[in-house]
Amino acid sequence: MSNFFSVRVERPGEAFGEAMSEIRSWLDAHKIQPTAFNSDTTRPGAVAFEIKFARDDEARLFQQAFT
Say which CATH number the domain at 11 has: 3.30.70
What is the percent of the chain with per-residue pLDDT over 90, rounded to a whole number?
64
What pTM, to 2 d.p., does this model score?
Answer: 0.84
pLDDT at position 1: 45
- The beta-strand segments (E) located in the chain are 5-12, 36-40, 46-53
What is the percent of the chain with per-residue pLDDT over 70, rounded to a whole number?
97
In the predicted structure, residue 13 carries a pLDDT above the cut 90: no
The total number of structural domains that make up the chain: 1
Greatest distance between any 2 Cα atoms in the chain: 38
Contacts of 25 (CB under 8 A, 6+ apart): none
Q: Print the domain residue range for 42.
A: 5-66
